[in-house]
Chain A
Amino acid sequence: MTTLIITQVLNGLQFGLMLFLIATGLTLILGIMDFVNLAHGSLYMMGAYATATLVAKGMGFFPALLGGVLATFAVGVVIEVVVVRKLYRRDHLDHVLATFGIILAFNEVVRIIWGPVGLTFDPPEQFADSVDLLGFTYPAYRLLVIGMISLVGAGLWWLVTRTRIGMQIRAGATHPEIVSALGVNIRALKTTLFALGAALAAFSGALIGPLRSVQPGMGEEVLIQALVVIIVGGIGAIRGALVAGILLGLLDTLGRAFLPLMISRFANPEVAQAVGPALASMMIYLTMALVLVFKPAGLLPATGK
């Protein structure tokens, strides 16, 4: 039982960090540029497909991952310049309509190029097996995912809070006049930020590839979950996305594993089998509803922009 709990907690942590990574690109673009990017899930899918294709062509996992991320960064630049740039001054409904159009287009393009059947690819060889962790075994690849997301998350925090480009991005969001008057090209800055969000989405998509199948429409499910993370964490807050991601990841995973068991304690097994999974899959949405009622700005809203 202890082993099961520890395993599920690690699974939950891994899923939560994944949610964080997907949500963080979305929340930066929404919080800093005030742009609703529903196509974020499509960029996640794009990263997964690009990486899977490069692996299938015989590339090692890590070079393929890098290639997938860079390719999606480039796609992000193109989308920003061609579509998104024209929409900043419009309201959110226009953002939603345009980026929903991009979702449909992406799914169709993916079906045309790769077909309706999903792709799969293997984790890197060194991480294909399970490792012994204080007396129980755990898949090495999932540990790798936890490690890599932690690194990228830390790097992102450093980029946004400490580096010149991060400071310019934050300053440019709230004070475009002064930042332009300092000689900073805000347009290029926005393109960079959008493409950075795309690269983050691609990175998550590529990491999840070996754990789930890579298929058309994989971005939508994750998009909804990422939106929930943003709402729970607070829009624009990296820290909020981290806390909310881990919280929701744990809730979801532990709920699916243990709710049926818990319910069977005081109801007959049939009811438990029916209600448990249904309730478990609602957990993150229930949490969102509670947060919206009691802390509408989110758990850790971005402070003092």
Chain B
Amino acid sequence: MSGIASLELRGLVKRFGGLLATDHVSVTIAEGELFALIGPNGAGKSTLIGQIAGELMPDEGEILIGDQSITGWGVVARARSGLGRTFQIAQTIDAFTTLESVVLSRRSGSLSPTGFFAPLLGDKEILDIARETLNVVGLGELTQLRVDRLSHGERKQLELAMALVRQPRVLLLDEPMAGMSPGESETMAQLLSELRGKCTIVLIEHDMDVVFKLADRIGVLASGALIAIGSADDIRNNPLVRASYLGEEEIT
């Protein structure tokens, strides 16, 4: 279960009525690759993410983690098979401390019946792993703080810690910098660059500077289709990409 794995999308199609929200998307994201997905608003990023996460089922096509097809699987089964994720709007649990959140994340998904009734914070080994992970994301000093006292940026960091502590084989990051202050963004960018190579990452992010700096490859989504895949330079110089972004924002 541990270790990292590739993520492969094969000819994914998703229709909403007459709208083709995902238009035959195929891409293989290699083990340890940081793959960024960009595209103007309404390009179908959320729909594609939903299909990878298991919230939406594709109408056609296949999704594989490593050699394993997970196409028909639900959210829970995908999580158990090693898919980790963060959300566009940080999903953290106000009433818990940061440490409790991370421990809960680490221990969830295990099915041992006795474990259910064990005290959450009873296992020292897991506590150490959780503290270490909080350290990694920069929350090492705040283990006893209740989540509702955290700043927006810290919540995003916590969410990342909750995903990382499960040692995901594939990690889905849905706009990790959304709504962050410049300082917070920088911390997060630093963190992501440290994760490079340790984890297969799909990154959705509006901050183009970060995307161009961090991503091994970038995929550009427009009207549901992947219109370009390539390195930062390839994408910058691609006329098709420029055209699809017209009126959106300048790609520098």
Q: A residues bordering B, Cβ < 8 Å?
A: 159, 162-168, 170-171, 174-175, 177-186, 303-305
Contact = CB atoms under 8 A, between A and B. Distances in A.
Interface residues of B, number: 32
B79 A167 contact: no
B74 to A, nearest CB: 8
13 contacts: A162-B121, A163-B116, A163-B119, A165-B116, A171-B104, A175-B91, A177-B91, A178-B91, A178-B159, A180-B79, A182-B105, A183-B109, A305-B94
A38 to B, nearest CB: 28
Given A175-B91, A181-B75, A181-B79, A167 B85 contact: no
Contacts, number: 83
Nearest to A170: B95
B120 interface: yes
Given A164-B116, A182-B109, A177 B87 contact: yes
A182 B104 contact: yes
Nearest to B117: A163
A182 B166 contact: yes
B100 interface: yes
A179 B91 CA distance: 9
A181 B93 CA distance: 13
Interface in B159-195: 159, 162, 166
Interface of B: 53, 75-76, 79-80, 84-85, 87, 91-96, 100, 104-105, 107-109, 115-121, 146, 148, 159, 162, 166
Nearest to B89: A177
A163 B116 CA distance: 7
A256 B224 CA distance: 72
Contacts of A180: 75-76, 79
A65 B22 CA distance: 57
A162 B103 CA distance: 12
Contacts of B76: 180, 183-186
Nearest to A179: B108
Contact of B100 (A159, A165, A167, A175): A167
Contacts of A171: 93, 96, 104
A183 B79 contact: yes
A181 B104 contact: no
Contacts of B120: 162-164, 166-167
A167 B92 contact: no
Contacts of B121: 162
A178 B75 CA distance: 10
B80 A304 contact: no
Contacts of B92: 175, 178
A175 B80 contact: no
A164 B85 contact: no
Nearest to B77: A183
B95 A164 contact: no
Contacts of B95: 170, 174, 303-305
A176 to B, nearest CB: 9
Contacts of B146: 304
A278 to B, nearest CB: 43
A182 B162 contact: yes
B117 A178 contact: no
Contacts of B162: 178, 182
